[in-house]
Structure 1
């Protein structure tokens, strides 16, 4: 082991590279050893991808804020905060570019965002106590925003929502309605006036096929007025997420406008086999490489012949049969990522056939599913596999896991522990 004095003689860039592999708790231990290492651990390069979670802001002193400022913290998540506390945070962390408010937002708190002139990402997870007029009047001030998420928001009409067109740099937009409806004309208006928009998430439980399809059709008044934002002729979305939807499908014109999609997520979706919806997605969206079906109705497509470029498939908390998995292997022969966490409906013999059905798999997620020791051994034959999630599996013994590591020479990263809870979503 290298003596302490030799550690301190290493170049700073070498120490920073080593510290980059440490967890926050490990960094805190190193930081407590001496003034020199404390200064190094506070270097901004070690914290540039970190999000600080504040559950209570009032308990922190000036030294704490000075430490965060020296680290140039740019991302925070805040819960239970007063306007005075929020102003303290924004004045102490002028470099903030991303703010998530995981609490019930009020209009006065939104006003506290104004000093954040560099804000690029804003996520409000509970807008039930603030009107849409207040929300959009404040958000319109941040024309540099690239990511905007609004959950549990109530729409009073068309006009407030249309002010989003002022955010011409918007790349990602999430609108999760409190009542399950979004004004379709307003949504259509903004989608065709945000030329940089690539990601869209909608929670729209009460919108039928035709209302939702209208959002993805070129507005009738295509020629815009001089003072209006110009209207684009085609959408360029790469990612679409539909939550709590009862919409069975989309119109042909809508699919045409969505032909650039690379990723589709259907969460809490009620219809997966109506009108051959899954097959239609794979046929009408030629660029699709990722399909996510999470906590939805049973995934039972009609299983007709389909040529697909699908590389990632996630079927979480949903019933999926042996026959469907076999159909997927024929339709998506180049599948690299398969997530079956919390899913059911297939048996262990199907799992044992994965090396033949999905020979190109690099990531396989089987968290909270039944996996036998025999099936685990067979999965060692997935020679491209690099990550295997077998967390929360009560049927695997430590001896079986150790044997698997020996068989694979530790080339596969095993995920053995994960909180027994679903992924955190801002809307259900």
Structure 2
């Protein structure tokens, strides 16, 4: 069977004696087709929409089919009215705009009145005041701006709207006090990410944490800190009836500061900690040990770079359920992790060296895993298929989805699943009776900055 487009109308044709089956399929109830489409990726939905007018009509008239759909746009003059009408019908709420200017915001407001999440990459003008025309905007991300921001007054009209704010690789020429004054007016914020090159000097976060009482997720560049002040996390006026901050997720970029358990006392409720050494090289002392021994309720830990796992493996809390490791590690280090966190359910394993010798040990070391993210290059087929021994495993993500189709030309790289990987996936799914889902494409958040 194949799909064919004829003239100005779309038709499904099958050149076989069973061609009538296609017409019968088209008479299936719309609810059934939409149920089938719900299992497709966004790309596959778009492909199905292009096959015939029947499918296009079904998908366009069902905004539910497009819930969570996001688009990446650049040079809005390229898009015609039909394109905008489709986005409007799908009730698109999340947009990533590259190299935008102020007039683009008015266009987005006109065609996408429900837009509530926006990422602006490489903003081309000095000010972003037109953001206030997006009356439904709740989540805003400014990344890699081409022009410096000398003022942040454009945030003030959004103070009753924004729940999430990301400023990443944005040149801020305003004083730190001006930044703090603008950010602390966003009283509805539940998530704040501020990533910079080290030019911003803020001694303590106590002022921010005092005003943003709803804050649950905080991501902060730590490259300028050598020692954390005693009041670094202490809000000046903690919320009444609470024992410490309400933060549940804390992300630290380029962290290597001396810290004490007393400084971390307000973070007793912290459940998730991420430490990313993007460019920095940590000093001789592993300060992560202090964090791990001070957070009794920590259930998720993510470490990228920094000291080898052996430097802090013995300090992992037994409460851990999720662990991400993109670090230097050895087989014996994972054995320590298994003993320290016996109930681990989610593991993202991306060692700096080869992982080929580690995969076959995972079923024995972490029998309760439900999700697993690993590399597959260099892993023997029998070791990969040994993952079927994990009785609770339901999702495997492959982190290195690429291959070189011509061994004589190593520069030719295809970023897609190789035939060998597809065979491995098929065998694993067959041996687990399709209990295990294998993901080969990253499901990144459209609003997340590229440095995470």
Q: 1:273 to 1:374 in 2, by over 3 A?
A: farther
3-state SS of paired residue (1:41): helix
3-state SS of paired residue (2:77): coil
Residue of structure 1 in register with 2:408 after alignment: none
The separation in 2 between residues aligned to 1:177 and 1:418, in whole angstroms, is 25
Q: 1:132 to 1:400 in 2, by over 3 A?
A: same
Q: 1:164 to 1:230 in 2, by over 3 A?
A: farther
Alignment match of 1:410 (pick from 424, 434, 437):
434
Alignment match of 2:366 (pick from 348, 358, 372):
358
Check the 8 A contact 1:341/1:366 in 2, yes or no. yes
TM alignment of 1:246-265, pairs within 5 A:
246-247=256-257, 249-265=258-274
Residue of structure 2 in register with 1:226 after alignment: none
Question: In the TM superposition, what is the alpha-carbon distance from 1:105 to its structure 2 partner?
Answer: 4.9
Does residue 1:193 correspond to 2:211, yes or no?
Answer: yes
Question: In the TM superposition, what is the alpha-carbon distance from 1:163 to its structure 2 partner?
Answer: 2.2
The separation in 1 between residues aligned to 2:179 and 2:303, in whole angstroms, is 32
Residue of structure 2 in register with 1:131 after alignment: 149
TM alignment of 1:47-126, pairs within 5 A:
47-108=66-127, 110-126=128-144
CA displacement, residues 234-293 of structure 1 (integer Å, 9 cap, x when unaligned):
31101011112232x433233111111111111116577965534433321122111101
Residue of structure 1 in register with 2:276 after alignment: 267
- Gap regions ≥5 residues in structure 1: 224-228
Question: In the TM superposition, what is the alpha-carbon distance from 1:231 to its structure 2 partner?
Answer: 12
Deviates more, 1:73-82 or 1:361-370: 361-370
Question: In the TM superposition, what is the alpha-carbon distance from 1:94 to its structure 2 partner?
Answer: 1.4
Does residue 1:333 correspond to 2:351, yes or no?
Answer: no
The separation in 1 between residues aligned to 2:242 and 2:211, in whole angstroms, is 6
3-state SS of paired residue (1:107): coil
TM alignment of 1:312-391, pairs within 5 A:
312-316=322-326, 318-341=327-350, 343-344=352-353, 348=357, 350-367=358-375, 370-390=378-398, 391=400
Check the 8 A contact 1:78/1:101 in 2, yes or no. yes
Does residue 1:234 correspond to 2:258, yes or no?
Answer: no
Residue of structure 1 in register with 2:451 after alignment: 427
Q: 1:191 to 1:370 in 2, by over 3 A?
A: farther
3-state SS of paired residue (1:166): coil
Check the 8 A contact 2:101/2:125 in 1, yes or no. no
Does residue 1:308 correspond to 2:318, yes or no?
Answer: yes
The separation in 1 between residues aligned to 2:372 and 2:306, in whole angstroms, is 20
Deviates more, 1:13-22 or 1:235-244: 13-22
Question: In the TM superposition, what is the alpha-carbon distance from 1:75 to its structure 2 partner?
Answer: 0.6
CA displacement, residues 52-75 of structure 1 (integer Å, 9 cap, x when unaligned):
110221111222212211211111
3-state SS of paired residue (1:163): helix
Check the 8 A contact 1:90/1:113 in 2, yes or no. no
Check the 8 A contact 1:152/1:427 in 2, yes or no. no
The separation in 1 between residues aligned to 2:393 and 2:72, in whole angstroms, is 34
- Gap regions ≥5 residues in structure 2: 1-17, 404-417
Root mean square deviation of aligned Cα: 3.2
3-state SS of paired residue (1:240): strand
Check the 8 A contact 1:340/1:365 in 2, yes or no. yes
Question: In the TM superposition, what is the alpha-carbon distance from 1:347 to its structure 2 partner?
Answer: 6.3
3-state SS of paired residue (2:367): coil
Check the 8 A contact 2:300/2:320 in 1, yes or no. yes
Check the 8 A contact 2:228/2:263 in 1, yes or no. no
3-state SS of paired residue (2:137): coil
Q: 1:301 to 1:180 in 2, by over 3 A?
A: farther
Question: In the TM superposition, what is the alpha-carbon distance from 1:218 to its structure 2 partner?
Answer: 3.0
TM alignment of 1:175-190, pairs within 5 A:
175-185=194-204, 187-190=205-208
Residue of structure 1 in register with 2:3 after alignment: none
Alignment match of 2:290 (pick from 280, 301, 315):
280
Q: 1:50 to 1:91 in 2, by over 3 A?
A: same
Check the 8 A contact 2:97/2:120 in 1, yes or no. yes
Check the 8 A contact 1:320/1:346 in 2, yes or no. no
Deviates more, 1:20-29 or 1:57-66: 20-29
Question: In the TM superposition, what is the alpha-carbon distance from 1:295 to its structure 2 partner?
Answer: 3.5
Q: 1:180 to 1:298 in 2, by over 3 A?
A: farther
Count how many residue pairs are aligned between Structure 1 and Structure 2: 410
TM-score under structure 2 length normalisation: 0.80
TM-score under structure 1 length normalisation: 0.84
Residue of structure 2 in register with 1:159 after alignment: 178
The separation in 1 between residues aligned to 2:361 and 2:307, in whole angstroms, is 25
Check the 8 A contact 1:100/1:123 in 2, yes or no. yes
